[in-house]
Structure 1
Amino acid sequence: MAIELLNREVTPETNQAPAPTPDNGDVFGRIGTLETRLARSEREIDAAQAVRYRVFVEEMNATLNPDAMRLHRDIDAYDAICDHLLVIDNAIEGDIEDQIVGTYRLLRQEVALANGGFYSASEFDIEPLLARHPDKQFMELGRSCVLPDYRTKRTVELLWQGNWAYSLKHGMNAMFGCASFPGVVPEEHALALSFLYHTVLAKGEWAVSARPELHQEMNLMPLEGINTRKALSALPPLIKGYLRLGAMIGDGAVVDRAFNTTDVLVVLPIAAISDRYINYYGADAGRFAS
């Protein structure tokens, strides 16, 4: 489980774009009292882990390792090598622990390969995908969550502004990561999974599959039996957002019993992102991310 609980749809062209903020290299945008930036200290990472615990364990009933449960923190070994994107509400009085309302975990390919690989590799066979693109740099998105009161368009907009600016800053060519359906019974999501399989399956040079021992069939309904409107309505909003950007979905779902989710792999080449989103977020966002 890596990407979950951004529960409102976003249509960027109808909303105010996050404002670039050139004063700090790790601040990627602001809307009102909210800003998105990278975590600057262990204390801020700890606060992000606490937010993740509140969402994944207290809300979604995930079961973490005993130390994580005792500490009330969603924490694993990847936290030490990832950058942590935050959404902060500066209107909240108190310490930084109280101000973090959303987070993403970002892992660049060069860092991943120097430290044992990507998190998603535990569920999906991504090595062939990487091998087919030796000239590209991949970036993994993971552990995304937003506190319930902040599941609004502006929060999601800021997270995407951060992802976009970060990818440009570091010269990334593609993003990928797990996206989650609630529950551990793929058949309960037959309409949505079948729609993804028939319409946006990653093929050719972008093909990627679930690990064979974990592979759950996504092709649960024939194409002619799928009502597109109902299928789109059945998709988690975050997955719909990825599809609008031009994302593809790997072949096969994976049941993650610890996090009580059914996961699919999202693959998003930077070059595939539609012009309207590039115009909205800014093709030269790196100018304030450097």
Structure 2
Amino acid sequence: MIGLKKGRYRAHHAQNAQDIAAAQALRARCFGVEQDKDAFDHQCTHILISRDSDGALVCCFRMMPLSGAEISRSYSAQYYALDALAAYRGKMVEMGRFCIDPDLNDPDILRAAWGAMTAYVDDNGVELLFGCSSFAGTETHDYLDAFAMLKARHLAPKRWLPRVKAPHVFRFAARLRRKPDAKKAHLGMPPLLRTYLMMGGWVSDHAVVDARMNTLHVFTGVEIRAIPAARKRVLRALLG
């Protein structure tokens, strides 16, 4: 059971339907939709970050444990052909619906979230963490340097590479021929994806255009054993 504190915040599991409803409400607010609930919610462990002073929910995400043989029932499998990962032998978990209250800007919230994620991975012996990393909007123009950087440095190993399944995609690995501007690439990269990449993460060779959520997203995987030692020390320090 996760239960850790960072500054004014504590991380904990959702305990009941009311907790999950609060997470869904925060997600809807962050994603700019009327409501955000789906059939995957009841299959997941929901992790919440709350403010100690008043119990307000400030961050949430969900974890869905899977084996390679089960990956076709993941949220990501709606958008990506994940047949290659069906051969993955270790324990895996899909991390999704990560969001932080847009009115707050306190680094302790993110520290609590990553501490909770680390505790979950350690407690469950997870070997592969994966999910969809989202860019705001569906226009690619502002993100070309970011996508060029993903192509140059962060594509998935061929043995795990997701194939195209969604009807509308941006095949950046095939289409882009530009040398990325590192500063523009960094600015264009979603913060969550930047963190995954610092952990040695890799991405699909195409982005899915998701009109319903008004995002572009790339499949993202992090093999736990491949996380650099220095980054592992940083993550484990969050558990203290």
Amino acid at match of 2:145: L
- Distance in 1, matches of 2:169 and 2:146, equals 17
Match for residue 43 of structure 1?
A: 18
Which shows bigger deviation, 145-154 or 210-219?
A: 210-219
Task: Tell me how far apart the structure 1 counterparts of residues 59 and 118 of structure 2 sit (CA, whole Å).
Answer: 16
Match of 1:168 among 122, 146, 150: 122
| Rounded Cα–Cα distance in structure 2 between residues aligned with 1:226 and 1:88 | 38
Name the residue aligned to 1:76: 38
The one-letter code matched in structure 1 to 2:2 is: D
Quick check: 2:170–2:208 contact (8 Å CA) kept in 1? Answer: yes
Q: Which position in structure 1 is the counterpart of 2:206?
A: 252
The question of 1:104 aligning with 2:61 is answered yes
Question: 1:212-227 to 2 correspondence within 5 Å?
Answer: 213-219=167-173, 220-223=175-178, 225-227=179-181
Q: TM-score, normalised by structure 2?
A: 0.91
Q: Which residue of 1 aligns with 2:192?
A: 238
Of Structure 1 and Structure 2, the greater strand share is in 2
TM-score, normalization by structure 1: 0.76
Equivalent runs, 1:45-194 vs 2, <5 Å: 45-57=20-32, 62=33, 69=34, 73-92=35-54, 96=55, 99-110=56-67, 113=70, 117-131=73-87, 133=88, 135-194=89-148
- Which segments of 5 or more consecutive residues in structure 1 lack a partner in the other structure? 1-24, 63-68
Note closer, same or farther for the CA distance 1:119–1:112 as it changes in structure 2 (3 Å cut): farther
Q: Which residue of 2 aligns with 1:274?
A: 228
| C-alpha contact 2:60 2:98 (8 A) present in aligned 1 | yes
Distance 1:272 1:49, change over 3 A: same
The residue matched to 2:176 in structure 1 has which SS? coil
Q: Which residue identity lines up with residue 88 of structure 1 in the other structure?
A: S
**Whole-Å separation in 1 of the counterparts to 2:23 and 2:81:** 28
Tell whether 2:211 aligns with 1:265: no
CA shift in 2, pair 1:43/1:111, >3 Å:
farther
CA distance in 2, matches of 1:191, 1:266: 18
Q: Deviations over 1:109-131 (max 9, x none)?
A: 059939x7100001111121222
Distance 1:41 1:80 in 2: 11
Higher RCO structure (Cα 8 Å, ≥6 apart): 1
Q: Is the contact between residue 210 and residue 253 of structure 1 (CA under 8 Å) also seen in structure 2? A: no
Identity rate, percent: 28
**CA distance in structure 2 between the partners assigned to 1:38 and 1:172 by the alignment:** 18
Q: CA distance change for structure 1 residues 227 and 110 in 2, over 3 Å: closer, same or farther?
A: closer
Equivalent residues of 2:145, 2:182 under 8 A apart: no
Unpaired segments ≥5 residues, structure 2 = none
| 1:279 Cα deviation from its structure 2 partner | 1.5
- 1:113/1:203 CA distance change after superposition, 3 Å: closer
How far did residue 213 of structure 1 move? 3.6
Relative to structure 2, which stretch is displaced further, 37-46 or 253-262?
Answer: 37-46
Per-residue deviation, residues 196-239 of structure 1 (Å, max 9, x unmatched): 0121111233322332644321134325x322222122212221
Aligned equivalents of 1:101, 1:143: Cα separation in 2: 13
Q: Could you list the per-position Cα deviations for residues 253-273 of structure 1 after superposition, in whole angstroms to 9, with x for gaps in the alignment?
A: 100000000011111000111
User: Residue type of the partner of 2:58?
Assistant: V
SS in 2 for 1:243: helix
